[in-house]
Chains A and B, each alone.
Chain A
Amino acid sequence: MSQHIVSAKLYISVWAALICLTVATAAVSYLELGPFNIVLALTIATCKMLLVALFFMGLKYISDRMTIVVIVAGLFWLGILVVLGMSDYVSRAWY
Protein backbone atom coordinates (compact mmCIF):
# COMPACT_ATOMS: atom_id res chain seq x y z
CA MET A 1 0.00 0.00 0.00
CA SER A 2 1.29 3.40 0.98
CA GLN A 3 4.66 2.07 1.98
CA HIS A 4 5.33 0.93 -1.56
CA ILE A 5 8.29 3.06 -2.59
CA VAL A 6 8.89 3.31 -6.31
CA SER A 7 12.39 3.82 -7.67
CA ALA A 8 13.28 7.30 -8.91
CA LYS A 9 14.43 5.68 -12.14
CA LEU A 10 10.90 4.45 -12.89
CA TYR A 11 9.42 7.90 -12.24
CA ILE A 12 11.98 9.48 -14.56
CA SER A 13 11.22 6.88 -17.26
CA VAL A 14 7.50 7.64 -16.98
CA TRP A 15 8.25 11.34 -17.25
CA ALA A 16 10.43 10.73 -20.34
CA ALA A 17 7.59 8.74 -21.91
CA LEU A 18 5.17 11.60 -21.17
CA ILE A 19 7.50 14.12 -22.84
CA CYS A 20 7.89 11.83 -25.89
CA LEU A 21 4.09 11.49 -26.18
CA THR A 22 3.74 15.29 -25.97
CA VAL A 23 6.27 15.74 -28.78
CA ALA A 24 4.46 13.03 -30.78
CA THR A 25 1.02 14.61 -30.38
CA ALA A 26 2.43 18.05 -31.29
CA ALA A 27 4.17 16.55 -34.35
CA VAL A 28 1.12 14.70 -35.72
CA SER A 29 -0.95 17.88 -35.42
CA TYR A 30 1.03 19.10 -38.48
CA LEU A 31 -0.42 16.25 -40.56
CA GLU A 32 -3.76 16.44 -42.33
CA LEU A 33 -5.57 13.30 -41.20
CA GLY A 34 -9.15 14.52 -41.37
CA PRO A 35 -11.27 13.14 -38.53
CA PHE A 36 -8.37 11.01 -37.30
CA ASN A 37 -6.49 14.05 -36.02
CA ILE A 38 -8.79 14.34 -33.02
CA VAL A 39 -8.95 10.56 -32.56
CA LEU A 40 -5.16 10.32 -32.50
CA ALA A 41 -4.78 13.39 -30.25
CA LEU A 42 -7.27 12.03 -27.70
CA THR A 43 -5.75 8.55 -27.83
CA ILE A 44 -2.32 9.98 -27.00
CA ALA A 45 -3.87 12.18 -24.29
CA THR A 46 -5.51 9.11 -22.75
CA CYS A 47 -2.18 7.23 -22.77
CA LYS A 48 -0.61 10.20 -20.96
CA MET A 49 -3.50 10.30 -18.49
CA LEU A 50 -3.03 6.59 -17.75
CA LEU A 51 0.71 7.03 -17.21
CA VAL A 52 0.11 9.89 -14.77
CA ALA A 53 -2.72 8.08 -12.97
CA LEU A 54 -1.06 4.66 -12.74
CA PHE A 55 2.43 5.75 -11.72
CA PHE A 56 2.43 9.34 -10.46
CA MET A 57 -0.91 9.01 -8.67
CA GLY A 58 0.00 5.47 -7.63
CA LEU A 59 -3.18 3.79 -8.88
CA LYS A 60 -1.07 0.77 -9.74
CA TYR A 61 -0.04 0.39 -6.11
CA ILE A 62 -3.32 1.01 -4.28
CA SER A 63 -4.16 -2.00 -2.15
CA ASP A 64 -7.27 -0.60 -0.49
CA ARG A 65 -10.11 -2.06 -2.59
CA MET A 66 -12.59 0.54 -1.35
CA THR A 67 -10.57 3.29 -3.02
CA ILE A 68 -10.57 1.35 -6.30
CA VAL A 69 -14.37 0.92 -6.10
CA VAL A 70 -14.81 4.67 -5.56
CA ILE A 71 -12.58 5.55 -8.52
CA VAL A 72 -14.28 3.08 -10.87
CA ALA A 73 -17.72 4.28 -9.74
CA GLY A 74 -16.67 7.89 -10.34
CA LEU A 75 -15.45 7.17 -13.87
CA PHE A 76 -18.63 5.20 -14.55
CA TRP A 77 -20.64 8.25 -13.48
CA LEU A 78 -18.66 10.40 -15.91
CA GLY A 79 -19.47 7.78 -18.57
CA ILE A 80 -23.19 8.19 -17.83
CA LEU A 81 -22.87 11.94 -18.31
CA VAL A 82 -21.12 11.57 -21.66
CA VAL A 83 -23.03 8.60 -23.14
CA LEU A 84 -26.57 9.60 -22.15
CA GLY A 85 -25.84 13.26 -22.84
CA MET A 86 -24.39 12.69 -26.29
CA SER A 87 -27.08 10.15 -27.22
CA ASP A 88 -29.57 12.98 -26.76
CA TYR A 89 -27.75 15.54 -28.92
CA VAL A 90 -26.67 13.07 -31.61
CA SER A 91 -30.13 11.50 -32.03
CA ARG A 92 -32.08 14.79 -32.23
CA ALA A 93 -31.43 15.02 -35.98
CA TRP A 94 -32.94 11.56 -36.55
CA TYR A 95 -36.54 12.68 -36.08
Chain B
Amino acid sequence: MSDSPTVVATHNPDLQHHFSSMEQQQDASMLGMWVFLITEIMFFGGMFFGYMVYRFYYYAAWLEGSQHMDFWWGTINTVVLLCSSLTMVLAVRSTQLNRRKSTVVFLLVTILFGLAFLGIKAIEYHGHWTEHQFPGLNWSWPGPYSSQVALFFSFYWAMTGFHALHMVIGIGLVLFIAYHAWKGKYSALYFNPVENVGLYWHFVDIVWIYLYPLLYLIGHKKG
Protein backbone atom coordinates (compact mmCIF):
# COMPACT_ATOMS: atom_id res chain seq x y z
CA MET B 1 0.00 0.00 0.00
CA SER B 2 2.51 2.58 1.11
CA ASP B 3 6.21 3.08 0.72
CA SER B 4 6.88 2.35 4.35
CA PRO B 5 10.22 0.60 4.83
CA THR B 6 8.64 -2.44 6.50
CA VAL B 7 6.53 -3.19 3.43
CA VAL B 8 9.53 -2.84 1.15
CA ALA B 9 11.54 -5.11 3.38
CA THR B 10 8.95 -7.90 3.20
CA HIS B 11 8.49 -7.51 -0.52
CA ASN B 12 9.39 -10.86 -2.07
CA PRO B 13 12.17 -10.46 -4.66
CA ASP B 14 10.35 -12.94 -6.90
CA LEU B 15 7.22 -10.76 -7.02
CA GLN B 16 7.10 -9.06 -10.40
CA HIS B 17 6.21 -5.40 -10.16
CA HIS B 18 2.96 -5.63 -12.11
CA PHE B 19 1.40 -7.98 -9.54
CA SER B 20 0.16 -6.77 -6.20
CA SER B 21 0.83 -9.98 -4.28
CA MET B 22 2.44 -13.39 -4.56
CA GLU B 23 -1.04 -14.95 -4.53
CA GLN B 24 -2.15 -12.83 -7.46
CA GLN B 25 1.03 -13.65 -9.34
CA GLN B 26 0.49 -17.34 -8.66
CA ASP B 27 -3.14 -17.27 -9.82
CA ALA B 28 -2.29 -15.31 -12.96
CA SER B 29 0.53 -17.67 -13.80
CA MET B 30 -1.68 -20.72 -13.40
CA LEU B 31 -4.48 -19.11 -15.42
CA GLY B 32 -2.03 -18.42 -18.23
CA MET B 33 -0.82 -22.02 -18.17
CA TRP B 34 -4.37 -23.32 -18.40
CA VAL B 35 -5.14 -21.04 -21.35
CA PHE B 36 -2.13 -22.58 -23.07
CA LEU B 37 -3.24 -26.10 -22.13
CA ILE B 38 -6.67 -25.39 -23.65
CA THR B 39 -4.96 -24.62 -26.97
CA GLU B 40 -3.12 -27.92 -26.58
CA ILE B 41 -6.40 -29.72 -25.89
CA MET B 42 -7.81 -28.27 -29.13
CA PHE B 43 -4.63 -29.25 -31.01
CA PHE B 44 -4.79 -32.89 -29.94
CA GLY B 45 -8.61 -32.77 -29.96
CA GLY B 46 -8.57 -32.19 -33.73
CA MET B 47 -6.49 -35.33 -34.25
CA PHE B 48 -8.63 -37.38 -31.88
CA PHE B 49 -11.70 -36.17 -33.76
CA GLY B 50 -10.20 -37.18 -37.12
CA TYR B 51 -9.38 -40.57 -35.63
CA MET B 52 -13.02 -40.96 -34.47
CA VAL B 53 -14.48 -40.05 -37.86
CA TYR B 54 -12.34 -42.55 -39.76
CA ARG B 55 -12.83 -45.26 -37.18
CA PHE B 56 -16.56 -44.71 -37.76
CA TYR B 57 -16.07 -45.09 -41.54
CA TYR B 58 -13.37 -47.78 -41.68
CA TYR B 59 -14.09 -49.85 -38.60
CA ALA B 60 -12.58 -53.08 -39.97
CA ALA B 61 -9.35 -51.37 -41.06
CA TRP B 62 -8.98 -49.75 -37.64
CA LEU B 63 -9.27 -53.19 -36.03
CA GLU B 64 -6.73 -54.58 -38.48
CA GLY B 65 -4.25 -51.76 -37.83
CA SER B 66 -4.62 -51.90 -34.07
CA GLN B 67 -3.75 -55.60 -34.12
CA HIS B 68 -0.26 -54.60 -35.29
CA MET B 69 0.44 -52.44 -32.25
CA ASP B 70 2.70 -53.91 -29.60
CA PHE B 71 0.32 -54.44 -26.67
CA TRP B 72 3.04 -55.02 -24.07
CA TRP B 73 5.25 -52.06 -24.96
CA GLY B 74 2.15 -49.85 -24.99
CA THR B 75 1.07 -51.09 -21.56
CA ILE B 76 4.55 -50.74 -20.07
CA ASN B 77 4.83 -47.21 -21.46
CA THR B 78 1.50 -46.29 -19.87
CA VAL B 79 2.83 -47.44 -16.49
CA VAL B 80 6.12 -45.58 -17.06
CA LEU B 81 4.27 -42.33 -17.75
CA LEU B 82 2.01 -42.72 -14.70
CA CYS B 83 5.12 -43.22 -12.55
CA SER B 84 6.67 -40.09 -14.07
CA SER B 85 3.52 -38.12 -13.18
CA LEU B 86 3.82 -39.28 -9.56
CA THR B 87 7.47 -38.17 -9.30
CA MET B 88 6.56 -34.87 -10.99
CA VAL B 89 3.81 -34.09 -8.50
CA LEU B 90 6.11 -35.09 -5.62
CA ALA B 91 8.71 -32.65 -7.00
CA VAL B 92 6.14 -29.83 -6.88
CA ARG B 93 5.24 -30.85 -3.33
CA SER B 94 8.91 -30.84 -2.30
CA THR B 95 9.24 -27.29 -3.62
CA GLN B 96 6.19 -26.24 -1.61
CA LEU B 97 7.92 -27.68 1.46
CA ASN B 98 11.24 -25.94 0.68
CA ARG B 99 13.01 -29.28 0.22
CA ARG B 100 15.51 -28.30 -2.43
CA LYS B 101 17.39 -31.58 -2.75
CA SER B 102 14.36 -33.84 -2.96
CA THR B 103 12.86 -31.46 -5.55
CA VAL B 104 15.91 -31.95 -7.74
CA VAL B 105 15.97 -35.72 -7.18
CA PHE B 106 12.27 -36.11 -8.06
CA LEU B 107 12.72 -33.96 -11.18
CA LEU B 108 15.69 -36.06 -12.30
CA VAL B 109 13.73 -39.30 -11.74
CA THR B 110 10.90 -37.77 -13.80
CA ILE B 111 13.38 -37.14 -16.61
CA LEU B 112 14.59 -40.76 -16.41
CA PHE B 113 11.01 -42.04 -16.74
CA GLY B 114 10.50 -39.68 -19.68
CA LEU B 115 13.63 -40.99 -21.37
CA ALA B 116 12.52 -44.59 -20.72
CA PHE B 117 9.21 -43.79 -22.41
CA LEU B 118 10.97 -42.35 -25.45
CA GLY B 119 13.37 -45.31 -25.60
CA ILE B 120 10.49 -47.79 -25.66
CA LYS B 121 8.70 -45.64 -28.25
CA ALA B 122 11.86 -45.72 -30.39
CA ILE B 123 11.92 -49.54 -30.24
CA GLU B 124 8.28 -49.59 -31.40
CA TYR B 125 8.91 -47.05 -34.16
CA HIS B 126 11.87 -49.08 -35.38
CA GLY B 127 9.67 -52.19 -35.56
CA HIS B 128 6.92 -50.41 -37.50
CA TRP B 129 9.48 -48.91 -39.86
CA THR B 130 11.19 -52.24 -40.66
CA GLU B 131 7.76 -53.80 -41.25
CA HIS B 132 6.99 -51.14 -43.87
CA GLN B 133 4.23 -49.55 -41.83
CA PHE B 134 5.06 -45.91 -42.53
CA PRO B 135 2.50 -44.57 -45.04
CA GLY B 136 3.99 -42.45 -47.79
CA LEU B 137 7.59 -43.53 -47.31
CA ASN B 138 7.79 -47.31 -47.22
CA TRP B 139 4.18 -48.50 -47.01
CA SER B 140 3.54 -52.11 -47.89
CA TRP B 141 0.60 -53.99 -46.41
CA PRO B 142 0.16 -57.72 -46.90
CA GLY B 143 -3.34 -57.86 -45.45
CA PRO B 144 -6.72 -56.46 -46.54
CA TYR B 145 -7.86 -52.78 -46.68
CA SER B 146 -4.34 -51.54 -47.45
CA SER B 147 -5.21 -47.90 -48.14
CA GLN B 148 -7.55 -47.66 -45.15
CA VAL B 149 -5.06 -49.27 -42.77
CA ALA B 150 -2.52 -46.76 -44.14
CA LEU B 151 -4.85 -44.07 -42.83
CA PHE B 152 -4.87 -45.72 -39.40
CA PHE B 153 -1.08 -45.75 -39.40
CA SER B 154 -1.01 -42.10 -40.48
CA PHE B 155 -3.02 -41.26 -37.37
CA TYR B 156 -0.76 -43.53 -35.32
CA TRP B 157 2.44 -41.80 -36.46
CA ALA B 158 0.99 -38.30 -36.26
CA MET B 159 -0.59 -38.66 -32.83
CA THR B 160 2.20 -40.62 -31.13
CA GLY B 161 4.75 -38.47 -32.98
CA PHE B 162 3.29 -35.21 -31.66
CA HIS B 163 2.96 -36.82 -28.26
CA ALA B 164 6.63 -37.85 -28.36
CA LEU B 165 7.56 -34.32 -29.45
CA HIS B 166 5.72 -33.02 -26.39
CA MET B 167 7.65 -35.50 -24.26
CA VAL B 168 10.96 -34.21 -25.65
CA ILE B 169 9.92 -30.61 -24.92
CA GLY B 170 8.69 -31.68 -21.49
CA ILE B 171 12.02 -33.33 -20.65
CA GLY B 172 13.79 -30.14 -21.71
CA LEU B 173 11.52 -28.06 -19.47
CA VAL B 174 11.99 -30.37 -16.48
CA LEU B 175 15.75 -30.23 -17.00
CA PHE B 176 15.59 -26.42 -17.03
CA ILE B 177 13.49 -26.41 -13.86
CA ALA B 178 15.78 -28.96 -12.18
CA TYR B 179 18.80 -26.74 -12.87
CA HIS B 180 17.15 -23.69 -11.33
CA ALA B 181 15.80 -25.71 -8.42
CA TRP B 182 19.36 -26.89 -7.77
CA LYS B 183 20.47 -23.24 -7.83
CA GLY B 184 17.85 -22.52 -5.17
CA LYS B 185 15.58 -20.32 -7.27
CA TYR B 186 12.31 -21.83 -6.01
CA SER B 187 10.78 -21.87 -2.58
CA ALA B 188 7.50 -22.36 -0.75
CA LEU B 189 6.64 -18.77 -1.72
CA TYR B 190 7.72 -18.94 -5.33
CA PHE B 191 7.16 -22.21 -7.14
CA ASN B 192 4.83 -21.46 -10.06
CA PRO B 193 7.43 -22.40 -12.72
CA VAL B 194 7.73 -25.87 -11.17
CA GLU B 195 3.96 -26.15 -10.87
CA ASN B 196 3.34 -25.05 -14.46
CA VAL B 197 5.88 -27.47 -15.91
CA GLY B 198 4.10 -30.10 -13.79
CA LEU B 199 0.76 -29.15 -15.36
CA TYR B 200 2.30 -29.53 -18.82
CA TRP B 201 3.77 -32.91 -17.90
CA HIS B 202 0.44 -34.22 -16.58
CA PHE B 203 -1.37 -32.94 -19.66
CA VAL B 204 0.99 -34.93 -21.89
CA ASP B 205 0.34 -37.94 -19.64
CA ILE B 206 -3.43 -37.51 -20.15
CA VAL B 207 -3.01 -37.47 -23.93
CA TRP B 208 -1.26 -40.85 -23.65
CA ILE B 209 -3.98 -42.16 -21.31
CA TYR B 210 -6.38 -41.79 -24.27
CA LEU B 211 -3.93 -42.86 -26.98
CA TYR B 212 -3.25 -46.15 -25.23
CA PRO B 213 -6.78 -47.64 -25.47
CA LEU B 214 -7.55 -46.05 -28.85
CA LEU B 215 -4.41 -47.36 -30.55
CA TYR B 216 -3.34 -50.44 -28.63
CA LEU B 217 -6.47 -51.91 -27.08
CA ILE B 218 -9.26 -51.64 -29.67
CA GLY B 219 -7.84 -54.50 -31.76
CA HIS B 220 -6.13 -56.49 -29.03
CA LYS B 221 -7.18 -60.17 -29.19
CA LYS B 222 -10.06 -59.24 -31.51
CA GLY B 223 -10.99 -60.46 -34.96
Contact = CB atoms under 8 A, between A and B. Distances in A.
A66 B23 CA distance: 14
Interface in B143-169: none
29 contacts: A2-B26, A3-B188, A5-B96, A5-B97, A8-B90, A11-B86, A11-B90, A11-B93, A29-B220, A37-B217, A38-B213, A38-B218, A42-B214, A45-B210, A45-B212, A56-B85, A56-B88, A57-B198, A64-B31, A70-B34, A70-B35, A73-B38, A74-B34, A74-B37, A75-B41, A78-B41, A78-B42, A78-B45, A90-B56
B64 interface: no
Interface residues of B, number: 52
Interface string A32-66: 10000110011011001100110111100010101
Nearest to A67: B31
A89 interface: yes
Nearest to B30: A67
A81 B195 contact: no
B83 A86 contact: no
A38 to B, nearest CB: 6
Interface string B177-220: 00000000000100110010011001101100110111001101
Size band of the interface chain A makes with B: 35 or more
A79 to B, nearest CB: 10
A20 to B, nearest CB: 11
B115 interface: no
Contacts, number: 137
Interface string B19-37: 0000100110011001101
A53 B34 contact: no
A57 B42 contact: no
What are the 5 tightest A-B residue pairs by CB atom distance, in nearest-first order? A74-B38, A41-B213, A15-B86, A64-B27, A29-B220
A37 to B, nearest CB: 7
Given A41-B213, A57-B199, A90-B56, A2 B205 contact: no
Contacts of A66: 27, 31
Contacts of B53: 85-86, 89
A81 B198 CA distance: 27
Contacts of A3: 96, 188
Nearest to B78: A22
Contact of B206 (A1, A5, A26, A52): A52
B42 A77 contact: yes
Contact of B34 (A22, A41, A67): A67
Given A30-B220, A81-B42, A89-B56, A25 B213 contact: yes
Contacts of B141: none
B49 A81 contact: yes
B208 to A, nearest CB: 10
Contact of A41 (B31, B75, B218): B218
Contacts of B171: none
B52 interface: yes
